[in-house]
Amino acid sequence: DETTARRKDAHLDLCATGDVEPAQNSTLLEHVHLIHCAMPELAADEVDLTTPFLGKSLRAPLLVTGMTGGTERAGVVNRDLALLAERHGLAFGVGSQRAMAEDASRTASYAVRDVAPTVALLGNIGLYQAIGMGVDGVRRLADAIGADGMALHLNAGQELTQPEGDRDFRGGYRVVEELARAFGERLLVKETGCGIGPDVARRLVELGVRNVDVSGLGGTSWVRVEQLRAAGPQAQVGAEFSGWGIPTAAAIASVRAAVGPEVRLVASGGVRGGLECAKVLALGADLAGMALPLFRAQQQGGFAGAEEALKVILTALRQALVLTGSRNVAELRRRPRVVSGALKDWLAAL
Ligand code: FNR
């Protein structure tokens, strides 16, 4: 209905300009130190970043994680960033398709196949909306945009901070199991900035999930976004919880240790540059994921602005592999690294 779409545009306004990344939050990636190799013995052009994902081959291990759809403005964001992903061989996700499930006329704002015919494309729906629409409803959302896979998002922290949000989180695993059976390798389960830890990841994998985006703490905080929209007691609780979550570095390293190498892991949540991409890959991610930085670059400079930001990220990622003497991500993972400070404490507990 109208309110879903209006809420989406309010979210975009807040994310474009507001303080949605609380300064006290950290991914803890500052506690990961890759080690310099003074004699790399390789050429930058030799570094191989190709990565399989959703049955396709990416040219770089990067996912533009799902953000938006449902309004005209959202449609422009989707098309610019999908085109960017198509041109550079990244994966791309649309945002929650709830708005088009409620009103089919909004489908066009999620449709990117005309500008991104070959991109590895993810649809997106919230777990609790998926419960309502069932497997067939979710499949219809994926088919309507020609998606290669479907992202199922978890956002209990956001819902509890949203005055109109869900309060009952029972029955989630049962739905995940049904969706995993129906979608197989085409299902991805993601958080939205509070992180997936090893216990939840292990259970998801036991139910058949093969792609997980940990989406940890340290970047966009949806609790903060809802805090900024809320008033009164709700806003006060939101303020208290806007630093809640598992930092991205702790989430990705602990989840990789908990699940087998056949599980594709994405690390998003506060990943902001190519060196940080290299760090999450070294910690066990198959892909790095980013939302806010590319969204903001697009809002400020359109497609060209987003492309400029991406080029810096890709150059720095490649540079990190050269300077660690790594020809590819598999070699990067085998290099020694220093893990210091609070990240060590997190990993000792997880
Ligand atoms: C998001 N995110 C998101 N996730 C999701 O699964 N469905 C959605 O509809 C949205 N919407 C959305 C809008 C905007 C404007 C942003 C910035 C983000 C969450 C996103 O995919 C990602 O998990 C987190 O934002 C963490 O990554 P960053 O932003 O810190 O790079």
Query: Three-class SS of residue 165?
Result: coil
Distance 45 CA to ligand 1 centre (A): 32
User: Of the candidates 343, 185, 190, which has an alpha carbon nearest to the alpha carbon of residue 263?
Assistant: 185
Confirm if 298 and 77 have CB atoms less than 8 A apart.
yes
Q: pLDDT tens string for the chain (350 positions)?
A: 668 878 888 899 999 998 999 999 999 999 999 999 999 999 999 999 999 999 999 999 999 999 999 999 999 999 999 999 999 999 999 999 999 999 999 999 999 999 999 999 999 999 999 999 999 999 999 999 999 999 999 999 999 998 889 999 999 999 999 999 999 999 999 999 999 999 999 999 999 999 999 999 999 999 999 999 988 988 999 999 999 999 999 999 999 999 999 999 999 999 999 999 999 999 999 999 999 999 999 999 999 999 999 999 999 999 999 999 999 999 999 999 999 999 999 999 99
22 lines ligand 1 (CB under 6 A): no
Query: Which residue minimizes the CA distance to atom 1 of ligand 1?
Result: 67
Confirm if 257 and 251 have CB atoms less than 8 A apart.
no
Confirm if 91 and 63 have CB atoms less than 8 A apart.
yes
- Please state whether beta strands 91-93 and 62-64 pair in parallel, antiparallel, or not at all (unpaired): parallel
Q: What is the pLDDT of residue 101?
A: 97
113, two tokens: 């196949």
d(CA 115, CA 119): 9
Strands (E), 192-332: 211-213, 264-267, 287-290
193 lines ligand 1 (CB under 6 A): yes
Helix, strand, coil percentages (3-state) for the chain, rounded to 5, are 55, 15, 35
Distance 324 CA to ligand 1 centre (A): 30
Pocket test for ligand 1, best of 12, 19, 29, 65 (most atoms within 8 A of CB): 65
DSSP H or E stretch at residue 93: strand 91-93
Confirm if 95 and 73 have CB atoms less than 8 A apart.
no
Structure ipTM over 0.95, yes or no: yes
pLDDT tens-digit readout, 77-91: 999 999 999 999 999
Report phi then psi at 93, rounded to 5: -120, 140
Amino acid at site 183: F
Report phi then psi at 163, rounded to 5: -55, -35
* Upper half-sphere CA count for residue 96 (Cβ side, 13 Å): 21
Count of C-beta atoms within a 10 Å radius of residue 117: 10
Pocket test for ligand 1, best of 155, 292, 310 (most atoms within 8 A of CB): 292
